[in-house]
A and B are shown apart, each in its own frame.
Chain A
Amino acid sequence: MNAPSAPQLVAPPPAEQGRYATWLDTTSKLGLLMLIVGFLAYAFGVVPPHIPVEQLPDLWIHPTHVFREHTGHPSGWDWLAMLHKGDIFNLLGIAVLAGGSMLCLLAVIPLYARRGEHIYVAVCALQAGVLGLAASGVLTAGH
């Protein structure tokens, strides 16, 4: 005899929310893990940094353009070529955190499309496009 099931208080969220949550969970955990492991390796000198840590207090008081001029700290996607440096490797974890939502949005588009919800297909595609534009490095400002 089956035990009576407990009354369900909360209706299950739509399928797209479940899929979005799964992708978000995976990408954000991956990003945080990379960030923490990378930082420990950097802070404890396991991987040599691009900028020696002892010099940082004299440098981080300056605005970014001065900081970059003094240190050769990368802008745009130049950091990809410097991932072997301890401090620069941390930017990879940050990029995974900032870029994870793009994957989540692309993952739910097929679900909206299957239901014929074209407006949400468009909203998700536009949102992914905005994130992609921000990530591209095309938009720059300041010095």
Chain B
Amino acid sequence: MKTLLRLAKLPALRLAAATALCFGLDLPAEAADAGALGTGSTPWWVWPLALFVVCFLLGIVAVPAGVGGGVLFVPIVAGFFPFHLDFIRGAGLLVALASALAAGPSLLRGGLANLRLALPLALIGSASSIFGAMMGLALPANVVQTALGLTILGIVGVMAMAKKSEFPQVATADNWAAYLGMRGIFVDAASGREINWQVHRTPLGIGLFFVIGFLAGMFGMGAGWANVPALNLVMGAPLKIAAGTSSFILSLVDSSAAWIYLNKGAILPMVAVPSVVGMMLGARIGARLLTVLKASVIRRLVIGLLLFSGLRALLKGLGIWV
């Protein structure tokens, strides 16, 4: 592991280190010599190709781990690739957006995403994501990097500790939820049970989505890690409705923030497109491997990966491990 961390300082080896970390490998000594070439002598095409490979691998592990690719993308690519954080966040938003858009139609048709639940929350989230994006592009990179590290470590805490409730009991809907008609009938295909669901604590949920949208815009991450607990544990939506609706909300929140990055010139196709395509292809493989891979092991691996990336971002932002 020490060898791996030392090698990660060499730009040309950052991809290899990231890939090796994903799979718990140690790098051979020859790789260290190859890494000594540095970024300057690395042909341009190595980076988009490396990005594609890393995103493909991240896409594979993201699905069984139950997280969106965006939350893995930004800290890992920021830690191990030479691109400026502005371009990484712009690409991260597109990664999360493309995944959400691809899943959206089937979630809506299948009734797992609920428009009535999603639209009011997405409106707040997308407005705040604009402010987050503007703030992220205005602040110095080291400040954003430090805040990113702290946020990722917070996400690790949420992922490690958050409980899930498959069918939360909501005795009465609050006034806001009743007025907005945030309720529905969900038939769980696994059990065949018909569940009448409604939500509560809507004002708190709206407040949370304001914060979540801001973070998504600022750091260019998808926010499924926060959306699902907010919908499921705070507002009381059934877990599957929470997961499906979360993905749909992302499509609106990330669209708003993506426009700010696009208008600012912070979306670089050579960084964004290989990332989007790699992540989407990997996610397809990951979905097929769901029955083969042990989800709990993958989840622990992803939490470990995020913990390392979060520390790396924090130390990079503080100038300790640049």
Q: Mark B270-297, 1 if CB is under 8 A from A, else 0.
A: 1111101100000000000000000000
Produce 1/0 per residue, A82-121, CB < 8 A to B. 0000010011001101111110000010000000010110
State the Cβ distance, A17 to closest chain B Cβ, in Å.
Answer: 5
> In the complex, are the beta carbons of B83 and A60 less than 8 A apart?
yes
Q: Which residues of A contact B274 (CB under 8 A)?
A: 39
Interface string of B55-90 (1 = CB under 8 A from A): 000000000000000000000000000111111000
- Given A97-B94, A127-B119, A53:B265 Cβ within 8 A: no
Interface residue tally for chain B (C-beta within 8 Å):
73
* Nearest A residue to B126, CB-CB: A130
Q: How far is the CB of B190 from chain A (nearest CB, A)?
A: 10
Q: Among B164-172, B204-212, B220-228, B255-263, which stretch is in contact with chain A?
A: B255-263
B138 touches A141 (CB 8 A): yes
Instruction: Give which listed residue, B44, B102, B265, contacts A54 with CB less than 8 A.
Output: B44
B34 within 8 A of A: no
- Chain A, 121-143, CB within 8 A of any chain B CB: 123-124, 126-127, 130-131, 133-135, 137, 139-142
Asked if A134 and B111 make an inter-chain contact with CB atoms under 8 angstroms apart, the answer reads: no
Contacts of A1-57 to chain B: CB distance below 8 A: 9-14, 16-18, 20-22, 24-25, 28, 31-32, 35-36, 38-39, 42-43, 53-54, 56-57
Assembly CA distance A68 to B267 (angstroms): 11
Least CB distance from A107 to B in Å reads 12
Query: B157 near A: Cβ within 8 Å?
Result: no
Query: How many contacting A-B pairs (Cβ < 8 A)?
Result: 202
Q: How many residues on the A side are at the interface (Cβ–Cβ under 8 A)?
A: 69
Q: Nearest residue in A to B130 (C-beta to C-beta)?
A: A134
Of the stretches B18-26, B179-187, B229-237, B314-322, the one at the interface is: B179-187
Q: Is B105 an interface residue (CB 8 A)?
A: yes
Please report whether the interface of chain B is mostly helix, strand, loop or mixed according to DSSP: helix
Query: With the chains together, A91 CA to B114 CA distance in Å?
Result: 30
A57 and B47 contact, CB distance less than 8 A: yes
B104's nearest neighbour on chain A, judged by CB, is: A24
Within the complex, the shortest CB–CB distance from A19 to chain B, in Å, comes to 9
Contact across chains for B39 and A126 when beta carbons are under 8 A apart: no
A31 CA / B277 CA spacing, docked (Å): 12
Q: Say how far A44's CB is from chain B's closest CB, in angstroms.
A: 10
Q: How far is the CB of B240 from chain A (nearest CB, A)?
A: 11
CA A14 – CA B260 in complex, angstroms? 32
Q: Which of A28, A61, A64 has the most CB of B within 10 A?
A: A64
B137 at the interface (CB under 8 A from A): yes
Q: Find chain B residues with CB under 8 A from A101 CB.
A: 251-252, 255
Q: Tell me how far the C-beta of B271 lies from the nearest C-beta in chain A, rounded to whole angstroms.
A: 7
Is B48 on the interface with A (CB-CB < 8 A)? yes
Which residues 31-51 in B have Cβ within 8 Å of A in the complex? 39-40, 42, 44-45, 47-48
List B residues at the A interface (Cβ < 8 Å): 39-40, 42, 44-45, 47-48, 82-87, 94, 97-98, 101-102, 104-106, 108-111, 113-116, 119-120, 122-123, 126-127, 130, 133-135, 137-139, 141, 179-181, 185, 187, 189, 192, 251-252, 255-260, 262-274, 276-277
- Please give me the 7 A-B residue pairs with the lowest Cβ-Cβ distance, nearest first: A141-B134, A90-B269, A28-B101, A134-B259, A21-B108, A25-B105, A142-B138
Name 28 A/B residue pairs within 8 A (Cβ), A-sorted.
Answer: A10-B110, A10-B111, A16-B115, A20-B108, A21-B108, A24-B251, A35-B273, A39-B269, A43-B45, A53-B44, A53-B45, A56-B268, A57-B82, A60-B82, A63-B84, A64-B86, A67-B87, A75-B265, A90-B269, A90-B273, A91-B267, A94-B269, A97-B94, A119-B180, A123-B123, A130-B130, A130-B256, A134-B257
- A residues in contact (CB < 8 Å) with B: 9-14, 16-18, 20-22, 24-25, 28, 31-32, 35-36, 38-39, 42-43, 53-54, 56-58, 60-64, 67-68, 73-77, 87, 90-91, 94-95, 97-102, 108, 117, 119-120, 123-124, 126-127, 130-131, 133-135, 137, 139-142
